[in-house]
Amino acid sequence: MPKGKKPEEEGIEFDLGLGGLLKGIGKFIDLVSKMEEEGVTEVTRTGEIKGLTEKAKGMYGFTVKMGLGGTPVVSSFGNIRPTEKGAVVEEVREPMVDVFDEEDRVLIIAELPGVEESDIHIEVKDDILALSVEAKDRKYAKEILLPCPVEASKMRSSYKNGVLEIIFPKAKE
């Protein structure tokens, strides 16, 4: 395994009360401290909420990446959303997405397991990329803020083994 990454771990426990929140914050701080000590730059955790109806499946995860100056950057994914009334399990999942601002292009990698390439819809409007998938048993949606202007008409994409790769050349200024 390359240095700087930790394997994905399963089995997150969810306690939606205040005690669970404080415990979760403590575990998060411990995780970030351990990442810094070990020189790890990225960690992903996922979990599933059990005990829901047969049709509803709660999936949640997050990725922590060490940014500049050791500042952690957290990205979440899944179909559990916080609301004023508490956590809600939605039918549409938010895929895990990475955006790379490279020298002459923008690379976007999205994890979309269990769908066909023909189910994937990509739309770019100004600096927002809208990614949606409508498959028979899975739905994904996410709006992604692009780091710079791109040439949307020259987009290239490929989809293999549940991973979508989108490449945009940067717009000439």
86 plus 103 within the same structural domain = no
Q: Write the pLDDT tens digit of every residue in 95-134.
A: 889 899 999 999 999 999 889 999 999 999 989 999 999 8
**Which pLDDT does position 47 carry in this prediction?**
63
20 plus 36 within the same structural domain = yes
Segment 36-41 shows an average pLDDT of 75
Tally the domains of the chain: 2
Last residue of a domain, one of 39, 69, 90: 90
Last residue of a domain, one of 49, 68, 90: 90
Q: Report the SS3 class of residue 113.
A: coil
- Domain span at residue 32 reads 1-90
pTM of the full structure: 0.58
CA atoms within 13 A on the CB side of 65: 10
66 plus 110 within the same structural domain = no
